[in-house]
């Protein structure tokens, strides 16, 4: 099997997982600026093809939003795939080093907090879901 075809399948599946969970995919820097400058709370999932993204981060992203409090907007960028969009998103994550997979919670375009790769890798999806829901409890409104 051709490696590039295999990786395309992996990337397509990773994109599909997060979009089906209800996240808006941002592929261009202009889309990132428009989405991250919106009023309210926005959760950004920085997607990737690594094992902890598929085994932990994406399941946590999907499950965490079934909570009394949740962000107004759910978006995703794909590290290593949509490079310019990911770089633009990371400009909003002031004070945090690039990390993928990761989650950033913004309010009115300003970073509130991040859950970085080291907060994901080695943890279960349930534990990361709990970390996300703690952020929602602190920064988001009840839906």
Q: How confident is the prediction along the chain (143 residues), in pLDDT tens digits per residue?
A: 676 777 778 888 889 999 999 999 999 999 999 999 999 999 999 999 888 899 999 999 999 999 999 999 999 999 989 999 999 999 999 999 999 999 999 999 999 999 999 999 999 999 999 999 999 999 999 98
CB 61 within 8 A of CB 75: no
Catalytic positions are: 50, 52
CA distance 2 to 139: 45
Domain extent for 94: 3-139
Which CATH number do you get for residue 118? 3.40.30.10
Report pTM.
0.94
CA distance 92 to 121: 23
Domain count, the chain: 1
């Amino acid at each position: 099997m051709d490696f590039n075809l295999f990786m395309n399948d992996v990337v397509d599946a990773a994109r599909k997982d997060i979009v089906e969970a209800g996240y808006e995919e941002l592929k261009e820097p202009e889309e990132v600026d428009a989405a991250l400058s919106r009023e309210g709370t926005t959760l950004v999932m920085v997607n990737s093809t690594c094992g902890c993204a598929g085994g932990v981060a994406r399941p946590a992203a999907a499950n965490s939003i079934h909570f009394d409090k949740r962000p107004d907007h759910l978006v995703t960028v794909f590290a290593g795939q949509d490079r310019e969009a990911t770089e633009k998103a990371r400009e909003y994550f002031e004070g945090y080093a690039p990390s993928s997979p990761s989650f950033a919670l913004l309010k009115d375009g300003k970073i509130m907090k991040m859950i970085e790769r080291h907060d994901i890798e080695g943890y279960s999806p349930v534990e990361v879901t709990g970390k996300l829901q703690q952020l929602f409890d602190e920064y988001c409104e009840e839906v």
